[in-house]
Amino acid sequence: MRHSEKTDWFFIVALALLLILGLMNVYSASGSQKTLFTHQLFFVLAGVLIFWGASVFPLRLLEEAVPFVYFSSLVLLVLTIFFGSGPAGRWLQIGPLNIQSSEFAKLCVIVLTARWLPALRREYVTGGVSLYLTAVGLLTALTLLQPDLGTASAILMIVFSMIYWAGFGFNWIFLFLSPLSAAVSSVKFVSWLAFTAVLSWVLYRSGAKPRRWVFFLVMTTVLAAFTPAAWNLLRPYQQARLTTFLNPEADPYGAGWNVIQSKVAIGSGRLTGEGFLNGSQNELAFLPARHTDFVFSVWAEEWGFAGSLFLLALYAVLAWRILTGARRSMNPFNSILAAGTAAFILIHVVVNVGMTLGMMPVTGLPLPLVTYGGSHIVTEMLLLGFSYNTIRNWRSY
């Protein structure tokens, strides 16, 4: 049953301001390429319509459509691997549209996890856990092959956040994260032995059957064995992004240029900024990728520390209202779906801002509602529409 509440003006105002400020920032970052602003305006208008549609769409039907959403995402990812276009080969061209399949993979994982976790919580079934891990692992692997290391990492962080929200204990969270932990521990043989010992202890505590022991131990061992080789499968620019994160000054005119110029732009903004369209790093084109990866640097340079705090506060308000609706919701699927959306927003903000400050690797994750691009705007507005649906219909079950 659906019981709609009144309009949540905190949510609506925060969302509207982020869209408007995002358009302003893209206009400034686009420089002489004003067609970028025209495209972004189209993406935002389309996103508003999508948001409205998702906010009134029966979420029960979305839950039932999870298998279709999952297989559609798989098809898009596979097609992109073989027929991808663009500088990094991550875009699938369908007529006049360029679709970034990995963006929709994030949407798919959130919807899939929202449906699966309540069932796993009701019944601790080994087969269910294995199937879920396989489904998410396949999406993550195909995303990594785009190649899109940033999105693959974001998927894992979002899944962890949703597992925590669903109330799973330490043992279950550790098992869900065991593939990632195995990959990280493979750096040294001793750390892998320590991880395997902890995994065995967790399996023992959970009363796992022998076949479950075999599944997890074999899976993590295989992942640990192939992780070092996976480094060589990364594109040179992806390896450079990770090594540059550790020491950007080691290659100041190569891989470290973006991060160094980003820090200069943010620092030059000081308290109140240099003013709209007056950022020197932006206007003189010293800052590369300023309408995509480093769009926050443009904002910080023009609006300063105060403007940056205001922008981050809008994201905080949005996440607060979404989590409030998720906490009140009487439907487990709706609640976990909204929590996944909040995690999506916060993780992207933290990673994007962190990489512009040199605190995180440059992974290419967009700043929600602000970075130029159609695929991520559509994905974000769709998820936000579903979340607003949950906020207004929290009594639905």
pLDDT of residue 363: 75
What number is the average pLDDT over the span 274-284? Answer: 65
User: What DSSP line would sit under 297-310, residue for residue?
Assistant: HHHHHHHHHHHHHH
C-alpha 77 chain-centroid distance: 16
Top pLDDT among 83 and 302 is at 302
- List, in sequence order, every residue forming a beta bridge with 85; answer none if it has no partner: 91
pLDDT category at 322 given cuts 50, 70, 90 is: very high
Top pLDDT among 74 and 287 is at 74
- Which long-range contacts link 41-46 to residues 24+ away (Cβ below 8 Å)? 42/374, 43/373, 43/374, 43/377, 43/378, 44/19, 44/377, 46/374, 46/377, 46/378
How far is residue 224's CA from residue 199's CA, in Å, rounded to a whole number?
13
Highest mean pLDDT among 124-133, 247-256, 360-369: 360-369
pLDDT category at 263 given cuts 50, 70, 90 is: confident
Both tokens of 361, joined, read: 């690797």
Top pLDDT among 216 and 332 is at 332
How far is residue 259's CA from residue 287's CA, in Å, rounded to a whole number?
9
How far is residue 395's CA from residue 397's CA, in Å, rounded to a whole number?
6
**What are the tens digits of pLDDT across the range 124-160?**
555 567 788 788 888 888 887 776 777 888 888 898 8
User: What DSSP line would sit under 77-105, residue for residue?
Assistant: HHHHHHH-BSTTS-EEEETTEEEEHHHHH
What number is the average pLDDT over the span 242-253? Answer: 51
Name the one residue in this structure whose structure tokens are 């992109």. Answer: 80
What number is the average pLDDT over the span 393-397? Answer: 70
CB 246 within 8 A of CB 255: no
User: What DSSP line would sit under 340-397, residue for residue?
Assistant: HHHHHHHHHHHHHHHHHTTSS----PPPTTTSS-HHHHHHHHHHHHHHHHHHHTTT--
pLDDT of residue 284: 47
Question: What mean pLDDT value characterizes the chain?
Answer: 81
What number is the average pLDDT over the span 352-368? Answer: 83
pLDDT category at 317 given cuts 50, 70, 90 is: very high
Q: Is the pLDDT of residue 197 over 60?
A: yes
Q: Is the pLDDT of residue 106 over 50?
A: yes
Q: Is the pLDDT of residue 219 over 60?
A: yes
pLDDT of residue 32: 66
Top pLDDT among 248 and 42 is at 42
Q: What is the pTM for the complete model shown?
A: 0.83
pLDDT category at 89 given cuts 50, 70, 90 is: low
**What are the tens digits of pLDDT across the range 232-245?**
666 665 565 555 54
Name the one residue in this structure whose structure tokens are 């640990």. Answer: 224
* Residue 391, burial from CB neighbour count under 10 angstroms (0-12, 13-18, 19+): buried
pLDDT of residue 387: 95
Altogether, the residues listed in the chain come to a count of 397
Q: Which of 375, 376, 299, 373 is nearest to 36 (CA)?
A: 373
Share of the chain above pLDDT 90, in %: 31
Q: Is the pLDDT of residue 280 over 70?
A: no
Q: Which of 177, 81, 179, 143 is nearest to 365 (CA)?
A: 143
